């Protein structure tokens, strides 16, 4: 059965390594017959959550910026994929800000059940993505029908585009996308 997949890239850099993983995931998902929408936060306006909780009542944020549209797309997606560089052993501020702004989804009848995380970093130790994964797991914990379905970490990359030198990681992301059920 075809799934509706929303991929959000939170890297501020063009041709980023985390985005390369996300695009490989997208290719695999499309090959498997899924509908994929790719959104980059680069160039988008995503303001900080005000903590007013109006969204809990209205199921829509009072701030009208690009996060509002992304939230509406996430509401109807069966699968969410987040891609982020790791900065100081944590997800990018862009992704954290977006996750905070997806608060209108909490009381809604959201469709997503599977969430994936694609990460990249200059450091290559296996522990590097742990805090980013934990942060996304904390967000997922608020959605009882959702689960972290998979992650891919590409370490040891600094310059944009360096991820292409790691075809095994791109293949891992592709396979994860292809295997979405």
Looking at residue 44, its pLDDT comes to: 98
DSSP 50: -
**What is the full per-residue pLDDT of the chain (181 aa) written as tens digits?**
999 999 999 999 999 999 999 999 999 999 999 999 999 999 999 999 999 999 999 999 999 999 999 999 999 999 999 999 999 999 999 999 999 999 999 999 999 999 999 999 999 999 999 999 999 999 999 999 999 999 999 999 999 999 999 999 999 999 999 999 9
Q: Which domains does the chain have, with CATH numbers?
A: 4-178 (3.40.50.360)
| Backbone phi, psi, residue 121, to 5° | -160, 160
Give this prediction's pTM: 0.97
- Return d(Cα 155, Cα 164) in angstroms, integer: 12
Residue whose C-alpha is closest to residue 15's, from 129, 123, 164: 164
């Amino acid at each position: 059965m075809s799934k509706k997949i929303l991929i959000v890239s939170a890297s501020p850099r063009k041709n980023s390594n985390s985005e390369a993983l996300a695009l490989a995931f997208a290719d695999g998902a499309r090959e498997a017959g899924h509908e994929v929408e790719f959104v980059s936060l680069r160039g988008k306006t995503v303001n900080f959550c005000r903590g007013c909780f109006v969204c809990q009542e209205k199921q829509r944020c009072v701030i009208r910026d690009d996060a509002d549209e992304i939230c509406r797309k996430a509401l109807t997606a069966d699968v969410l994929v987040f891609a982020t560089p790791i900065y100081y052993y944590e997800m990018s501020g862009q992704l954290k800000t977006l996750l905070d702004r997806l608060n209108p989804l909490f009381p809604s009848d959201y469709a997503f059940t599977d969430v994936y995380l694609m990460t990249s970093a200059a450091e290559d130790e296996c522990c590097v993505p742990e805090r980013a994964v934990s942060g996304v797991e904390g967000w997922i914990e608020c959605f009882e029908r959702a689960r972290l379905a998979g992650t891919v970490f590409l370490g040891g990359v600094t310059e944009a585009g360096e991820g292409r030198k790691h075809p095994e990681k791109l293949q891992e992301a592709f396979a994860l996308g292809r295997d979405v059920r």
